[in-house]
Structure 1
Amino acid sequence: MSSQLKLLNWNVHGLNDRARRSVVHDLAASSRCSILYIQESKLTSLNDVDKADIVGQTLKGCAHLPADGTRGGVLLFWNTDIYLVSNINIASCSITAKFTDRASNTSWHLTTVYGPADEERKLAFLNELVHIHSQISGAWLVIGDFNLILSDQDKNKRRVNRAWMRWFKNAVDSSFLREIKLIGRRYTWSNEQSDPTLVRLDRAFCNDDWGDLFQASKLLPQASSMSDHCPLLLVQDIRTRTPPRFRFESFWPLLQGYSSVVEQS
């Protein structure tokens, strides 16, 4: 198992200007992520200069789903010193790849998704997710902007589409996925109005094999004012907590009242 798992997920709403690229570059560097997944890049092509602007020289591996004009576009970067990546499959709403940790030789599959906002393509997106499940064996992680919610609690306003909630849940359940809890935050997107609509659109799921492999994984919100989406950092918390142990101090018997306390106890 890798203790170096740090996956940063973010819908950035465009990387066409240098200033926005600089913000992504700085957050990727400060988080020390080993995998970076970006949605809504709005980039139809990607060259070496673009890569250097966005992620520098640490994350040299890259898979790119180009934008459709000025809409969409996703980028997946990884540290090639840490991971050997193979079996890359780019679909209409996702990128799936097999990640092998070079140090431990442990392998798992990652699917990064960007669900469509328009309802005409949502069902095809959910079918794509279920199809990917049918093609994968072993540990599997799914993360990204789903543009769907699972329950009423995922939105601060009463108006929700229960049919899409049900279809989303059916796709998750039939793919044998369980959610990785987001710590310290309920919503990941805001329309940034005076009376804001807040929704949880960005999330992570895994199957039992992945959960067993990364038992100490945590999904943490990050801070940035560049996008209306909250960046999410998935990390493997390798800190071990040693249970407190009772220690008898040699000076205790010398304290006044020691004998009476022991007798009463």
Structure 2
Amino acid sequence: MNFLSFNIRGIGGAEKPGWLKKVKSDFGIHFLSLHETKKQGVSVLDVSGYWGNKSFSLESVDAEGLSGGLVCMWDKSVFSQTGVNRNRNFLHVRGKLSGSSEVVNVLNVCAHQGVSAKKSLWDMISQLIAEHDGFWIVSGDFNAVRYSEEKKNCGFKQNCANNFNSFIFDSGLLEYNLIGRKFTYSKENGRKMSKLDRFLVNHSFF
């Protein structure tokens, strides 16, 4: 089963659906997590262009104004949902793979900006992981880096990195390396670049 996590920075526009649909097709994506949708009441019609058809299941968390918003979409012939937990900053979809009894938990995260607010979110997610058995795939925009070299031309907060690393270690998560560009976010003028998107798992099963 292949997963893709992407900061869509607002659902809409003519180019995004076709581009993301091609990525999904090229890499055989079965589960798609979008963050920063900036939309309330997301429907199948709103996101079918990203998937390529209407043959998928959907869960979402509404944006607050023009901030946040989360969507999870998946191939229902591959993944069967058994539960969901919603929070302003995360969307947890629980289910099983087709032909398997193993439980899989997929968590789509869009974290706060403030250090203390992020720490509270990490604690909440750690508790969520502890309360649910099965495999865990945690991805999204964490608004945090682990090491100073993951930021360029912008400030690094050691206590924020320490909190993030402790959360990863205490939850038994491992980070899968991203391929492609070194930084996952950069301003147009290139004066601020950071690795903010992550892909964390607690078992290597896919």
TM-score (ref. length: structure 1): 0.71
Equivalents in 2 of 1:115, 1:152: separation in Å? Answer: 19
Tell me what 2:194 maps to. Answer: 199
Partner in structure 2 of residue 154 of structure 1: 150
- Among residues 167, 170, 175, which one is paired with 2:166 in the alignment? 170
Q: CA RMSD in A?
A: 2.0
Question: SS at 1:70's partner residue?
Answer: coil
- Contact kept, 8 Å, 2:154 with 2:193, in 1: the verdict is no
Q: Determine if the alignment matches structure 1 residue 61 to structure 2 residue 61.
A: no
Whether the 8 Å contact between 2:48 and 2:54 is mirrored in structure 1 is no
With CA pairs under 8 Å and 6+ residues apart, which has the higher RCO, 1 or 2? 1
Output aligned runs, 1:16-31, within 5 Å: 16-31=12-27
Distance 2:75 2:51 in 1: 10
Query: Deviation at 1:64?
Result: 0.3
Alignment of 1:68-217 (within 5 A): 68-119=64-115, 121-157=117-153, 159-193=155-189, 195-207=190-202, 210-211=203-204, 213-214=205-206
Q: What code does the residue aligned with 1:146 have? A: F
CA contact (8 A) 1:126 1:168 kept: yes
Q: Name the CA distance, whole Å, in 1 between partners of 2:66 and 2:154.
A: 32
In 2: Cα distance, 1:77 partner to 1:23 partner? 16
Give, in whole Å, the separation in 1 of the partners of 2:17 and 2:181. 25
In 2: Cα distance, 1:41 partner to 1:102 partner? 28
Answer whether contact 1:58 1:79 (CA < 8 A) is retained: no
Distance 1:57 1:7 in 2: 18
Distance 2:66 2:54 in 1: 28
What is the Cα deviation at residue 118 of structure 1? Answer: 4.1
Gaps of 5+ in 2: none
d(CA) in 2 for partners of 1:120 and 1:20?
Answer: 33
Query: How big is each residue's C-alpha offset from its partner over 1:139-173, in whole Å with a ceiling of 9 and x where there is no partner?
Result: 21211110101111211237311111111111111
2:152 aligned counterpart, secondary structure: coil
Structure 1, gaps ≥5 residues long: 215-265
Retained in 1: the 8 A contact 2:126–2:171?
Answer: yes
Letter in 1 for 2:38: K
Question: What amino acid sits opposite 2:2 in the alignment?
Answer: K
Give the direction of change, closer, same or farther, for the CA distance of 1:18–1:190 in structure 2 (3 Å limit). Answer: same
Greater strand fraction, Structure 1 or Structure 2: 2
Moved over 6 A (4+): none
1:236 corresponds to which residue? none
Pick the structure with greater CA Rg. Answer: 1
Amino acid at match of 1:162: Q
Could you tell me the TM-score, scaled by structure 2's length? Answer: 0.89
- Is contact 1:152–1:158 with CA below 8 Å preserved after alignment? no
